[in-house]
Chain A
Amino acid sequence: MEIQGYQIPDDLMYTEEHEWAKQEGKTIRIGITDYAAKTLNDVVYVSAPKVSVTVEQSKPMGTVESIKAVSEVYAPLSGRVVETNGALDFHPELINKSPYVEGWLIVVEPLNLSTERKSLLDAKAYTAYLETLLQK
């Protein structure tokens, strides 16, 4: 889906803090949405949890920074980190160029997926939520 130029892939789960989560078999890939990236404008620095760290749903798990601003990233789901995106150390701008593919932040093994996923939004619900934000 798309709203006012912001891309919202149909097959992802979303939070109201503008993170996305993608189920890939037994693991979950996590990143920030096109809207979050464009609002930051130019991502220049990323701080994400390291492998084997446990993140907790809705708790801060890192930061994404532009020249001007710092944005907290909240874990969309609880899980243990099994992979991090080393490319972002040298090319944080991948978050702007490709927020859903090359600009991913971490991959986790979820700890409580079946319960926690109920609090996430699907693409349609996130699009509706963005629409209300953009009207303000």
Chain B
Amino acid sequence: MLKTTQLFGYHSTHAKLTEFAGYEMPLWYTTTMAEHMAVRNASGVFDVSHMGRFGVEGPNATDFLESLVPTAVKTQPPGKVFYTLLLNSNGGIIDDVIIEKLREDAYMVVVNAANTKADMDHMLAHSPEGLSVDDRTASTAMIAVQGPGAITSLQSLTDLDLGQLKRFRCAEARVAGGNALISRTGYTGEDGFEVTVYDATNEHPGGAVNVWEKLAETSTPCGLGARDSLRLEAGFPLHGADIDQTTNPFEADLAWVVAAGKRDFVGSDAMEALAAQPPSRIRRGLVLDSGIPRHGFEVIGDAGPIGVVTSGTFSPILRKGIALCYLAYSSSEPGSRVGVTIRGDNQPGAVTRPPFYEERSYGWKRQKGN
């Protein structure tokens, strides 16, 4: 029996549905192409309630998270949001997560739906006495509104001045008459917000349906198809495809997540050893001249195989096939010409470091007026 989110009533009457991480979720409402372009050019709204949300509370919450992740936690001010990793003792990536620091003694950790159980087990295995780790996935909803028009779309629902909320900051606020946590973050490369709607269960969705329906009046509802093509175009890895417990942060091109000189966190010995030498392989982007690379396709260099595609799609912005892949470190120079084997044919392309779009034209750094 598949799980559903608080917004399933809307999805079941408006979307083509698909199974994802044990949930019955919207794949698309109209077309993935139209939804993707709506986010790049205007704004889109996504139900991301399937993602795991853990409340971490207690007087030792900051110390606990400091000992758990490779990012500095103590120095983050309340209201800060940061991307980080849960590592195993070998330095493999258990999950990539977003942590919202509400207060020194209260955090919200947002995790990938497929890893909710593994992450909870990992956190409980390391949690000290007096700390509460509480799975709030079923008692809250989460709605992302993304794109250059997201701020206008969400502002009409809240008194919080969104213009004053910087990127990677969060604040609790009233949204459409209910209590919520607004974070200026997302998984599309665009400006936007992720809204955690409090007090929303499947039986009593409370304000979640209201927030969704109000946002859907001014933003295009988007399914998981567009969510995947948007994150790929922005170059964001997907756990389970591009990163997992067999990849470490250095080869995943996520070295920036590991705070220089930080010690005594889960995986810190492995990080110290790995940082001492270049990785054998590294995550890169590929843009093909023709054809669409997909998960598992081989990447070929001048002298033979040099890597493998971990996720690929058609980029609606470039109008070309793009991929994230792992390449032998010696063959990973951006600009290098390589090939991808697609059903027996060698399709030529170039190595890049994402994002795949021009940052002056698309994404949150875009120059206004474009």
Q: Which residues of A contact B (CB under 8 A)?
A: 41-42, 44-45, 47, 63, 65-68, 70, 93, 96
Q: Which of B28, B292, B313, B321 contacts A41 (CB 8 A)?
A: B28
Q: Are B225 and A70 in contact (CB under 8 A)?
A: no
Give every chain B residue within 8 A of A93 (Cβ-Cβ): 33
Q: Are B343 and A63 in contact (CB under 8 A)?
A: yes
Give every chain B residue within 8 A of A96 (Cβ-Cβ): 31
Q: Which residues of B contact A (CB under 8 A)?
A: 16, 27-28, 31-34, 36, 225, 228-229, 291-292, 294, 313-314, 316, 321, 343
Give every chain B residue within 8 A of A70 (Cβ-Cβ): 292, 294
Give every chain A residue within 8 A of B28 (Cβ-Cβ): 41
Q: What's the Cα separation between A47 and B36 when bound, in Å?
A: 23
Q: Are B314 and A41 in contact (CB under 8 A)?
A: no
What would 30 A/B residue contacts be, using CB atoms closer than 8 Å? A41-B27, A41-B31, A41-B32, A41-B225, A42-B31, A42-B32, A44-B33, A44-B292, A44-B314, A44-B316, A45-B291, A45-B292, A45-B321, A47-B291, A47-B343, A63-B343, A65-B292, A65-B314, A66-B32, A66-B314, A67-B32, A67-B36, A67-B229, A67-B313, A67-B314, A68-B27, A68-B313, A70-B294, A93-B33, A96-B31
Q: Are A67 and B33 in contact (CB under 8 A)?
A: yes
Q: What's the Cα separation between A47 and B228 when bound, in Å?
A: 23
Give the shortest distance, in Å, between B348 (CB) and chain A (any CB): 15
Shortest Cβ distance from B32 into A: residue = A67
Give the shortest distance, in Å, between B79 (CB) and chain A (any CB): 36
Give every chain A residue within 8 A of B316 (Cβ-Cβ): 44, 67
Give every chain B residue within 8 A of A67 (Cβ-Cβ): 32-33, 36, 225, 229, 313-314, 316
Give the shortest distance, in Å, between B23 (CB) and chain A (any CB): 17
Q: What's the Cα separation between A66 and B27 when bound, in Å?
A: 13
Give the shortest distance, in Å, between B46 (CB) and chain A (any CB): 16
Give the shortest distance, in Å, between A55 (CB) and chain B (any CB): 15
Give the shortest distance, in Å, between B44 (CB) and chain A (any CB): 15
Q: Are A42 and B313 in contact (CB under 8 A)?
A: no
Give every chain A residue within 8 A of B229 (Cβ-Cβ): 67-68
Q: Identify 11 new A-B residue pairs, CB closer than 8 A, beyond the known A65-B292, A66-B314.
A: A41-B28, A42-B33, A42-B34, A44-B33, A44-B314, A45-B291, A45-B292, A45-B314, A68-B27, A68-B229, A70-B294
Give every chain A residue within 8 A of B294 (Cβ-Cβ): 70
Give every chain A residue within 8 A of B32 (Cβ-Cβ): 41-42, 66-68
Give every chain B residue within 8 A of A68 (Cβ-Cβ): 27, 32, 225, 228-229, 313
Give every chain A residue within 8 A of B27 (Cβ-Cβ): 41, 68
Q: What's the Cα separation between A41 and B18 when bound, in Å?
A: 13
Give every chain A residue within 8 A of B34 (Cβ-Cβ): 42
Give every chain B residue within 8 A of A44 (Cβ-Cβ): 33, 292, 314, 316
Q: What's the Cα separation between A93 and B31 when bound, in Å?
A: 11
Give the shortest distance, in Å, between A25 (CB) and chain B (any CB): 33
Q: What's the Cα separation between A67 and B311 when bound, in Å?
A: 12
